[in-house]
């Protein structure tokens, strides 16, 4: 009898236990990509996302509930993201999936070299599709976003315009035709001139009288208008 029990125990130990079901890692990676494309896409942009590899030694228990994904911190989406995928059951697991992101949208690019103080116009820039996820300093999509501002530094041709490249708004820019006003004994005299500087209202600059060529000191009064100083 004892021999029969021992034989049965040996036979039982010899039979391998069924392996616990595991969550396919490819399914976890695919969920991270699908969630990003559905939730963090930029309107009007074309997005591609590729999940990086997970450790092949990783063993995740098969989840009894639908997996959930998120991007912690609500940070702007960059060229690399770390998507959190979790099994939302008691004692469930959490894993971070690295994802490489490309997001293509039209941005403004300089068509020719531009000088500091220039106010970019339609003849100075053109639209190109670029990977905006890799543009860490942002970008400008249309001339409407510039709103009369000028460049804070010179730019080479082919440069993507970013908000940091623009100085404050300028009512008068270098080379603008301006109306020069001077008040003498209560009488306002007006003449045409050319701005030799740039600035918003209150800024002091020099202007050249278009008729005489004389250079005068003036203060910007408003868009295209300067007050000549005595």
**pLDDT per position as a tens digit, 20-35:** 678 999 999 999 999 9
pLDDT for 1 equals 55
Strand 215-222 and strand 204-209: the pairing is: antiparallel
pLDDT band at 106 (very low <50, low <70, confident <90, very high): very high
Q: pLDDT at residue 207 above 50?
A: yes
Domain boundaries, position 37: 22-102
C-alpha distance from residue 13 to each of 2, 3, 106 (Å): 17, 15, 66
What percent of the chain is helix, strand and coil (3-state, nearest 5)?
15, 40, 45
Phi, psi of 106 (to 5 degrees): -80, 130
49 and 96 fall within a common domain: yes
Length of the chain equals 230
Provide the CATH number for the domain around residue 132: 3.90.1210.10
pLDDT for 174 equals 84
98 and 131 fall within a common domain: no
Strand-pairing partners, residue 224, are none
88 and 113 fall within a common domain: no
Higher local confidence (pLDDT), 66 or 229: 66
Nearest residue to 133 via CA among 83, 52, 76, 82: 76
Strand-pairing partners, residue 95, are 85
pLDDT for 178 equals 93
Domain boundary among 119, 137, 167: 167
- Select, from the ranges 56-60, 146-150, 154-158, the one with the highest average predicted confidence (pLDDT): 154-158
3-state secondary structure of 212: coil
Global pTM exceeds 0.75: no
Q: Which two tokens mark 166? A: 């623009």
> In whole angstroms, what is the distance from residue 9 CA to residue 25 CA?
37
Give how many domains the chain has, as a whole number: 3
**What DSSP state is assigned to residue 79?**
S
Q: What's the N-to-C CA distance of the chain in angstroms? A: 124
Higher local confidence (pLDDT), 68 or 172: 68
Q: pLDDT at residue 10 above 70?
A: no
């Amino acid at each position: 009898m004892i021999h029969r029990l021992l034989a049965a125990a040996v036979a039982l130990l010899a039979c391998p236990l069924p392996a616990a079901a595991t969550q396919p890692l490819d399914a976890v990676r695919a969920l991270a990509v699908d969630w990003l494309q559905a939730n963090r896409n930029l309107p009007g942009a074309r997005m591609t996302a590729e999940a990086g590899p997970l450790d092949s030694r990783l063993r995740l228990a098969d989840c009894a509930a639908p997996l959930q994904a998120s991007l912690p911190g609500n940070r702007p989406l960059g060229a690399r993201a770390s998507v959190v995928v979790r099994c939302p059951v008691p004692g469930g697991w959490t894993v971070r999936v690295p994802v490489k992101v490309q997001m293509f949208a039209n941005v403004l690019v300089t068509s020719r070299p531009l000088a500091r103080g220039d106010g970019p116009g339609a003849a100075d820039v053109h639209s190109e599709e670029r990977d905006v996820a890799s543009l860490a300093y942002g970008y400008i999509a249309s001339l409407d976003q510039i709103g009369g501002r000028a460049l804070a530094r010179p730019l080479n041709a082919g440069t993507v315009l970013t908000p940091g490249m623009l100085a404050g708004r300028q009512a008068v820019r270098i080379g603008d035709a301006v109306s020069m006003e001077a008040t003498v004994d209560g009488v306002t005299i007006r003449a045409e001139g050319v701005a030799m500087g740039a600035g918003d209202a209150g800024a002091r600059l020099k202007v050249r009288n278009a008729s005489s060529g004389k250079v005068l000191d003036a203060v910007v009064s408003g868009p295209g208008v300067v007050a000549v100083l005595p």
